[in-house]
Chains A and B, each alone.
Chain A
Amino acid sequence: MRWLALLRPGDWLTLAAGAALVGASVPMFWQGGLADRAIVRQEGRVFAELDLRARKQLEVPGPLGITLIAVEPGRARVVSDPGPRQYCVRQGWLMRPGEIAICAPNRVSLQIAGRTKVYDSISY
């Protein structure tokens, strides 16, 4: 109680404004919420939508061969790919909504999705 006496009326206002700022910063900076799905595309068409809650492996056939995708709780990655440069494999685990690994030679992409859609970029 003695401590509360040290707060002046405006201090409560500042506290409330600060709390509002913190509250507003969550959706602003953690856009898209938590990752909950992995979308696998082949030739631009959705090949599979995987739930990120369960551990799973998926083989995606492409023109060069099989791209192997692994899902673990909260994250997904491309384990192996027949492409020559292995960019999508080297990207490692993807865990934030909007992250994407593209295995262009084999025409496979793996994207993480959250509840809301996140834009790659916006131009006016």
Chain B
Amino acid sequence: MTRSATELAITAEDRRVAWLATAAVGLSLVDAAIPSPLPGVKPGLANIVTLVVLLRYGWATAVWVSVLRVLAGSLLLGYFLAPGFFLSLTGTTLSLLTLGLARHLPARWFGPVSLSILAAFAHIGGQLLLARAWLIPHDGVFLLTPVFAGAALVFGTINGLIAAKLLADTPATDSPR
């Protein structure tokens, strides 16, 4: 076999990110398969992966996994570069920024559930603002805010609990952070 001219060195970190992103994409597909009463109200199961990654491998890895998940998920579901893609990207960006700040909260008091709820609110907030600014330039969009905020609270709590359980059940195998 001829050696390729450009050899990409694949580190263990790359493999880890790829595996985690795959898990997140899988959960995105499950998410998309769950019927929703209102566009935008989704469980956001892939965020469980983001939370676990954040708390176990750090923020940078969480960013990688999330961005790859949004890209690959949108390609698989066929909404790459469609409005839904930008909504997803905005929500993810804002929730990652929020998580970046919130992970500095004292861990003794604030666990995955807090992070999850904060991220869920940031996610829906970003999406609403983008929708208002770009897709539906009318304040009527905000009429749905209480519904979205309620969904963010409920699903944020559930996802946070699942992430907390996963973290508690699986001891860290690799060195954290």
Q: Which of A7, A14, A26, A30 has the most CB of B within 10 A?
A: A14
Contact present for A9 and B142 (CB under 8 Å): no
Contacts A6-B113, A14-B113, A14-B118 given; does A21 touch B149 at CB 8 Å: yes
Q: Contact mask A1-24 → B, CB, 8 Å, 1/0?
A: 001001111110111001101100
Contact with B along A21-49 (1 / 0, CB 8 A): 11001101110000000000000000000
Per DSSP, chain A at the interface is helix
| Alpha-carbon distance A8/B107, docked complex (angstroms) | 9
Is there contact, CB below 8 Å, between A19 and B153?
yes
Chain B binding surface SS class: helix
> Could you tell me the distance in whole angstroms from the C-beta of B111 to the nearest C-beta in chain A?
4
How distant is A51 from chain B, measured CB to nearest CB, in Å?
Answer: 24
Given known A-B contacts A7-B111, A8-B109, A25 and B146 have beta carbons under 8 A apart: yes
Residues of A within 8 A of B (CB-CB), count: 20
Q: Knowing A11-B110, A22-B149, A30-B146 are in contact, say whether A6-B161 is a contact too (CB < 8 A).
A: yes
**Binary interface encoding of chain B residues 104-121 relative to chain A, with 1 for a CB under 8 A from any of its CBs, else 0:** 011011111110011001
